[in-house]
Amino acid sequence: MGIDKRKRVVVAGTGFGRIYLEALTSSRLLGRDYFELAGLLARGSDYSRSCAEQYGVPLYTEAEQIPDDIDIVCVVVRSGATGGEGSELAQSLLKRGIHVLQEHPVHTKEITANLLAAKQGNAAYAVNTLYPNLRPTRQFLAAAEYLRRHQRLEMIDAICNSQMAYPLLDVIGRAVGGLRPWSFSEPVQAEGHPFQSLSATLGGVPLTLRIQNQVHPQDPDNHSLLLHRLAIGSEGGVLTLADTHGPVLWNPRLHSPRDQTGRLILSGEGTERLAVPSMVTLGDTDMRSYHDIFALTWPEAVIQALHSLCADIAQPERRKQSGQWALSVSMVWSDLTARIGMPALIQPGEPEPVSVQALTDIVSQACD
């Protein structure tokens, strides 16, 4: 895994940084033992002090207080892309030779400056888009790679909210084997519709993209109709990541030969391809609750990202390629966001939950 000794890690930030803290301390995660939580960097609020006490680590309120024997700092505070100073923090650490994993989104100019600082300090730097490392996404990407090796990809169909556009572009690029060439049409949005629609090309593959470019100004992390959904198709069928957290689905292409009269042959000799299931679930079939997603799925993805960073630490020749990929993802995202513009402000109330049991009962009765 590219790790020759246990890495001492400091987490900067106690918002989404809580996922990183869980990743570095949960005994339920495979691969966590390669890392040791060695501190928390925060502003010194009552909450951050209680976090440091809970995890039994020092609380640092200034980057200069972080000891030189720290291997990695996870910068989980806002970058300039969202009005924060995360990249300035990253640069100060990288110049000291401390490796940095920075949470997305990060502007291209910031990544360029961060990579320069990393070179000056002989350190490794990576942007963590998190979602490509989720277990269901890794299963989807493995299937996509197999499909890509055997057939030409014909189309991509994707839908997301605007906050998920950055990692979704990363996932699509990995699925199709690259981001270049890319292009986006101007978005179209009908009156009263929540989604903007764009025709695009990513990695040379035609893409239809729909984005819910809306945000609640007082509650920006909620009120998305969905996070993201993605399908790629070839002549053999369609591979779908049905939701951010799975499952992965495969739909074989429906194709039937014709007889001498021109009618489709529906059974018998020559129709063996029609005998396969019209839908197959690949990989995991048991879906986790959101409690488990926060406690396991997302922290697992953080550990995966840390292992990738450690590979760059151990093999400096990898760093250029990793940096180029991070730059490309950010460039594509900047192009897209420039076209869709600022999100529309919405203020819906708390959504009413739908009973899963009621849905299950209705479906079971529908065909009785």
pLDDT in tens, 55-84: 999 999 999 999 999 999 999 999 987 888
Q: How far apart are CA 161 and CA 228, in angstroms?
A: 7
Q: Does domain 133-290 have CATH number 3.40.50.1000?
A: no
Give residue for tokens 């989404």. Answer: 16
| Best CA proximity match to 93, nearest among 59, 58, 129, 123 | 123
- Place 4 in a pLDDT band, splitting at 50, 70 and 90: low
Three-class SS of residue 8? strand
Flag whether pLDDT at 316 surpasses 60. yes
Exposure b/e, 192-221, CB count within 10 A at least 16 = b: eebbbebebebbebebebbbbbbbeeeeee
At residue 1 the predicted structure's pLDDT band, cuts being 50, 70 and 90, is very low
pLDDT digits (tens, 9 = 90+) for 25-35: 998 888 889 99
Domain boundaries, the chain: 7-128, 133-290
Within 13 Å, how many C-alpha atoms sit on residue 317's CB side? Answer: 0
Mean pLDDT for the stretch of residues 130-141: 98
The DSSP bridge partners found for residue 284 are none
What mean pLDDT comes out for the span 220-246? 97
Per-residue model confidence (pLDDT) at position 322? 97
pLDDT tier, 3 (very low <50, low <70, confident <90, very high otherwise): low
User: What is the C-alpha separation between 53 and 38, in angstroms, rounded?
Assistant: 12
- pLDDT of 23 > 80? The answer is yes
| Average pLDDT in the chain | 96
State pTM to two decimals.
Answer: 0.95
**277-312, pLDDT tens digit by residue?**
999 999 999 899 999 999 999 999 999 999 999 999
209, 229 Cβ separation under 8 angstroms: no
Q: Which fold has domain 7-128?
A: Rossmann fold (3.40.50)
